[in-house]
A and B are shown apart, each in its own frame.
Chain A
Amino acid sequence: MKNIYRILSLFIVVLLASCQSGNKNEQGLDYQHPTEMGLEASNFKMPNPDDYKVTLDNGLTAFLVTGKEVPLVTVTAYVVAGTAFDNKPGVAETLASILKSGCSSVNKNFKEEVGDLAAQYSVSMDQEGTAVSLNVASEDVAWAVTALSGILQSPCITSQMVVSYKGGGVLNAINGRSAYDGNLNMAVGLFNMHVYEGHSYATGVSAVQANSVSVGDVSSYYKKYFTPSNITIGVGGDFDRSAVEQLLKDGLGSWSGEERPTIEMAPAISPKKQTEEYTADKLQSWYVAGHALPVLSEEEIPALEVMNYILGGGHFDTRLFRETRDLRGLTNDASGFLTFKQYGPGSYDFRTYGRPEVLGQLEEIVLLEANKIRNKDVSDEELMVAQGALADGVFEEKFQNSHKTAATLAEEFNKYQSFERLSAYPERIRAVSKADVKDAANKYLMPDQFTTIKIISK
């Protein structure tokens, strides 16, 4: 009798299992959950910077990363020279505009040559650094290194060039409380204008400020910061390493300059609660809110990055994105942006936009979610996703090809003169705990102290 029960029980179990399995197949539920797929750990190893490092006698350092992907080369010079380091508003920006022309004492027809060689040339400058970059066919690498050497050593700091800079940024794009062109960049510009008001980290130069800049101002700024020991060059792509090393020696080896300048720490900015409204003649309205951040240590940054990744890290699965877009259809995007600085205040801000009638709702959700992450632990799953995304995704991508690797190494060395920070990054991200995330939120996210900018379309 027992056996009959056993056989019957077994039969029922098999029948149930087969029914369940049939159900699964019919409904497509036989897909393994990603966490159960047994995906291997990423096998990425960060390249050893010493394998690529070259130091000229005058202290200029370069990272030469060869790769045979395609016959192209990118040469980029990183300089610790930012808009926050000048003594007078507009001086650094004027130099940046001269660098953008590509004009130097050895190359007056730079733009024409860039066109003829189908090269790409770019210059960027933020509060703490400048990058000057050329991308050319491998056959033109000698021209690129020579041209860049000329631009770095003898840019056309002439009265004609200085006068031609008329200022830029948000200061020239508003008329009182009216924004000429409502958009997200404008809202971010206004946010920075209010947060950094009167501070050396403020951005944007008015026409009046630009007019007061002299050749002497630009020359002395240039001499102080454009010096071999303050510059790092990254060369990535398909090139002959010894030939490029020689080109760098020929072009920059005899350049003597000042010592690497000491950058003084800029004063901190205390968050200040304020709301500033502007108007625009558009179909949507924009919201940017946040505050300045102090200079953070490398140990503090990972927890804050993980926290922001969960809250609003600029991707499709953040808390803000789900609440504003997925669940309510209010906006195309709502994200949080962390900007860390080395010598002065960075910022943490939230940006969103939508049809004018939903701006209030968007603001409520941003504040609600910012408060929520301060008061309650994130989930294990949220932590795991953020850590994987930052340590295996964002970090690894910096080294995807020889061009990116050269840029990453050169920029890092230019800023920190070492690779300790960069190489420790993945482990620091993986070590972040739920308590660290909550602590970071409580320490560095202050929704009750937000500076809020609204551009409202009528």
Chain B
Amino acid sequence: MASSHLMSPALRWTPIAVLALLESWVLWDLLAVPDRRWTAGLAVPFIANVVFLLLARGSHRRWARWIGLLALGTTYVVSHAFLLGIQVLPALVFVSLLIAQLELRILAERFAPLFLATITSAQQRQIGSALLRALIRLTIASVLAVVIPLLAADLATAGVVPVTTIPTALLLSAGLVAVVLIIALLPSLESNPE
């Protein structure tokens, strides 16, 4: 039962640790920007991200968390796209970590309270195996989210797949936009008041 009670803090603190890692990563990049005016400009979304995430933690408002993470991603992308240049591997790791942080937080909200209750060892085993299954899926998805784009980049730069012509690029983009729109327009899960 003691190990069950240790699971809860571990689950709760993992997303916070990942978020802290991402924040320090962006702050480090921000300090590396050579132009002070750009640094000051980018500090605005970064501070907004910190403020909104603190607000989300204090008041449990979902919209504040979304805005905070969006501001964090924006700071990273703008600083690299316009000033520092994009290194593919670190950028993919950053994006994957950001997604993993969201997934981990959802898992923590779902599983952490279960380990606080005084549950039987059979229930504990069932819940633990479900958590393990979810973590394995998340790990596989995160690794794929880094590896597949890297492979695609390697193939494209090696010229194995001829996607460099303007019509094929437009066609591929239109297809991707269509897929994204279909997924985005599917009905979202309504928030459950209970």
Partners in one complex: no
